[in-house]
Structure 1
Amino acid sequence: MTLTKRHRTAALAAAGVLALTALFGCDNKLTEPFNDAPRSKVENSTPADLITFPDGFSNAATKCDHGNRIYSAYHGDSPYAAITVVPNDPTCNR
């Protein structure tokens, strides 16, 4: 095997591993609830208000927690979201 064939073989093997990781490593965020960090037993199980936008735009959810309003913007089933907090929101009933 020449050096170029070795590099080509290694690159193909790495690409195969990367493809398999992408295929089997990415999962639906809704099927793995709380699969990120430890959490306490205190939870706010009240429903959030959902704000839906036309297809192609991110949706948002909002709810109050301990007097603070929390907004979470998400796009469909994507594994990312943007979060912002309005501290001591007067519209939140404590």
Structure 2
Amino acid sequence: MKRIRRSVWAAGVVLLVGGLLAGCSQEYDDERGKGDAPVQGKAGDDTPAEVFNMPDGFGNLATKCVGHGFRAYVTTNATGPSNVQIVEDKTCGG
């Protein structure tokens, strides 16, 4: 009886991990090749960000106001995930 329970438990873990990995492996890639997530109703803030270019091998930095009273800082890097920081910024009114 214990052997069956272990087998069922192991099969459940394999299915769970497999499902998680399958969900993570699907990369969204739009026509611009940016991999941006879709925005419901296409209603978003498309104003440009201020971009600071870094030397080759370093991620570029982009910043802009997001929401009311917050600023986002985002880095890009071709070799890894981007870093995002959102901080309070009183100059970002709304």
TM superposition shift of 1:74: 0.8
Q: Percent identity?
A: 29
> 2:48 corresponds to which residue?
47
> 1:62 corresponds to which residue?
63
Q: More relative contact order in 1 or in 2 (CA 8 Å, sep 6+)? A: 1
The alignment covers a number of residue pairs equal to: 66
- Residue ranges of structure 1 left out of the alignment (5+ in a row): 1-24
Give the 4+ runs in structure 1 shifted more than 6 A.
none
Within 5 Å, which residues of 2 pair with 1:1-94? 30-31=32-33, 33-34=35-36, 36=37, 39-41=39-41, 42-67=43-68, 68-75=70-77, 77-78=78-79, 80-87=81-88, 89-94=89-94
- Residue ranges of structure 2 left out of the alignment (5+ in a row): 1-25
TM superposition shift of 1:56: 1.8
